[in-house]
Structure 1
Amino acid sequence: MPDMNDAESPHPVDVDGAQASPGGVVARNERALTEDQALERDAMLTHKAAYNLGREYHDQGKLSEAEELYDRALVGYEKERGADNLDTLRVVYDLGWVYHDQGKLSEAEELYDRARAGFETKWGVNNVLTFTTVRRLGEVYYTQDKLVEAGKMFERALVGYEKKFGADDLMTLALVYDLGQVYYARGELVEAGKMFERALVGYEKEPGADDLVTLGVAYNLGQVYYFRGKLAEAGRMFERALVGYEKERGADDLEALAVARDLGQVYHDQ
C-alpha cells in the first residue's frame, strides 16, 4: 500500500485512509473556512453586543456592570481585530472612562494614554476623539495632582477645541476654565487670571451672567485678584458672585456664605 506522502500516489489520502479527489478536499476546506468565518462573525457580534450593552449601563450610571462588559468586549476585540484597531481603541477609551467615573484613576490613566497614542497614530493630533481623550487624560492628571502633566494635556487639547469648535464654544470655554484651575493650583496667578477672565466673558454670553457656572468663574477670578493684591477687583467679583448666589440659592447656601466670608476679608484688608 503506498504511503500517503508517496510521490506516486495519484491523489491525497483522506484522514480515514480513503483516497480523496482534489475537488473533495477543496470543497471540504472551503466549508471549513466558511464555518470559521461564520464563527468569527458570531464572535464579533457577541463582542459588539457586550460593548453596546456596556454603553447602555454606563449611560445609566451602572458603572460596575459597564466595566465588566467593556472588559469582556475588549478581550474579544483585541483577539479578533488586534490591539491597535480603531474599534478596539474605542473600547479602551470607554473602559478608561468608566474607571475615571469610578475614581480608579491609575487604571483610567493607563487606558486613556493607550487610547490617545492609538488615536494619534491612526487619525492624528487634530482629530476630535484624539483631543477629547487628551482632555480626559488631563482631568485624571489634575485629580491626581499631577499638575505639570495636566497643564500640558489641557493646553494641547485647547488647541484642538479652538480649531474644531471655535473659541467661544461652551466646550472650549470649559477647557479654558479647567486650564485656569491648573494654573491657579500651580500658583501661576497671572496665567490663571487670563484664563478665568476669558471664560467669564464667554459664559456671560452663554449661559448668561446669572448662571451658576458663570458665578463660579467670577468667584474664582476674585480669588486670583485677591492673592495678587488687587483688592478692588476682587471685591467687585465677590460682590457679583454673592448677589447671584443669594438670588439663585439663598443667603444660607454654603457657597453664598463662603463668598460672603471672602468679601468680608477684602473689606477688612482695604
Structure 2
Amino acid sequence: MASMDTQLNRGPDQNSAERSSPSRQFDSQSLEESVETQKKELGERNSNTIDTMLELVLSYRFDGRLEEAETLTRNIIQIRREDLGETHRDTLVSITKLAEIYAELGREIEAEKLQLNVLEARRKVLGELDEDTIDSMEQLAIWYQNRGEYHNQKRDLDKSEELYQMVLKSNTTIHGQGHEITFESSTNLAGIYRLQGRLDEAKKLQTGIVEKSKTVLGLEHTSTAVSIEELARINHAQNRIESAKLLQKQAIDIYKATVGDKHPLTEEAEGEFIRICQS
C-alpha cells in the first residue's frame, strides 16, 4: 500500500536533489515563459493555456515551490468555476489538486475538507459508480489510512475502512468479482484490517484474493505479486516470519520476471524482505 509520502504528503524537503537540478529549473522557467506567451496570444482562459498552466503546477510541485503551485492552482480553479461551473468534472479535478498541495504543505484540515467536498459533489453530479467518484473515495481512504497508521489513530483507520468498503462495492458492481481492479480493492481492504489488528479477517480475505489472482491473472502478473505482498505483511504481523519470508520472496521473483531487477517495485519488495528478515 502506498505511503503518506507518495500519496498526498510529499513535502519539499524530500526533493532537494530535484530542486537543485538545472534541467528542472529550466523546465519551470520554460513553462512560465510558455504560459505568458499563450496568455498574450490565446488568452488566459484558452484550454491550451490552462493545460500549460497545469503542467507548470506539476513542475512547481516537483521543485518544492508549493506556494507558487497553490497560487496558480487557485487561479485555474477560479477560471474553471467561471467558465464551466462549480461542479464540472474539470473544476473538481482542479480542486482535488489543490487539496493535494495543501497536504504537501501540512495543511491537513484544509486538505481533508476539500477532498470531502469534492467527493460529495461527485456523488451528486456523477453518481456512485463514476470513476472520478471512486477515485475520490480511494484517495480519501488512502489519506485516512496513512494518517491513521502514522499517528496510530483508530478513528482514521475506521474511516478508511468505510471508504474502502464503498470502493470495493462499486468496483465489484462495475467489473465483477474476478477482475484485477476488484482484487486490488480487496487487497486494500485487507491491509486496513491488518492495521486495525483484525489479522484473522485480513488473512482470510487476502488468502482468497491471492488464489483468485493466481487463477485469473496468472503467476507472472504484478497485481498477483501485490496481493502476495499483502499476505506476507499479514503473516509478518502474526509473527509467522518464515511464511512471510517465503511469500515476500515469491513476490520478488514475480516482479523480477515481469518488470526487471531494477524496477522500483522489485527494489521496494527486496527492502521489505530485508525488514522481515531483521524482525
TM-score bucket of the superposed structures, by smaller chain: 0.5 to 0.7
Q: Tell me how far 1:194 sits from its aligned partner.
A: 3.0
For each residue in 1:142-176, what CA deviation from the matched residue of structure 2 results, as whole angstroms up to 9, or x when unmatched? Answer: 11111011111111011111222333333332222
Q: Structure 1 pair 66/224, CA: closer, same or farther in 2 (3 Å)?
A: same
3-state DSSP of counterpart to 2:186: helix
Q: Give 5+ residue unaligned stretches, structure 2.
A: 1-41, 149-155
Residues 54 and 66, structure 1, Cα contact 8 Å, conserved in 2: no
Q: Aligned partner of 1:254: which letter?
A: G
C-alpha distance after superposition, 1:81-110 (max 9, x if no partner): 543344422322343345557775444322
* Unpaired segments ≥5 residues, structure 1: 1-41, 263-270
Q: Is the 8 A contact 1:158 1:176 kept in 2?
A: yes
Identify if the C-alpha distance between structure 1 residues 51 and 96 changes in structure 2 by more than 3 Å, giving closer, same or farther: farther
Q: Are 2:142 and 1:139 aligned? A: yes
CA distance in 2, matches of 1:140, 1:176: 17
User: Equivalent residues in 2 for 1:141-220 (5 A)?
Assistant: 141-145=144-148, 146-205=156-215, 208-209=218-219, 214-215=224-225, 217-220=227-230
Output the CA distance in 2 between the equivalents of 1:206 and 1:120. 31
- What is residue 239 of structure 1 aligned with on the other side? 246
8 A Cα contact 1:138 1:154, kept in partner: yes
TM-score with structure 1 setting the length: 0.63
Larger relative contact order (CA 8 Å, sep ≥ 6): 2
TM-score when scaled to structure 2?
0.61
Percentage of pairs with the same residue: 16
Secondary structure, aligned partner of 2:45: helix
Aligned 1:46-125 pairs, distance under 5 A: 46=45, 48-49=47-48, 51-57=50-56, 62-63=61-62, 64=66, 67-99=70-102, 105-125=108-128
In the TM superposition, what is the alpha-carbon distance from 1:67 to its structure 2 partner? 4.3
CA distance in 1, matches of 2:186, 2:121: 25
Q: 1:138 to 1:243 in 2, by over 3 A?
A: closer
8 Å Cα contact 1:50/1:69 also seen in 2: no
**Contact persistence 2:165–2:189 (CA under 8 A):** yes
Are 2:119 and 2:137, in contact at CA under 8 Å, matched by a contact in 1?
Answer: yes
Report the count of equivalent residues: 216
Structure 1 pair 225–143 and aligned structure 2 pair: CA distance change class (3 A): closer
- Whether the 8 Å contact between 1:100 and 1:140 is mirrored in structure 2 is no
Residues 85, 222 of structure 1: alpha-carbon distance in 2 compared, 3 angstrom cutoff: closer
Aligned to 1:265: none
Aligned to 1:257: 274
In 1, Cα distance between equivalents of 2:276 and 2:213: 19
Provide the rounded CA distance (Å) in 2 between the counterparts of 1:194 and 1:67: 44
Larger radius of gyration: 1
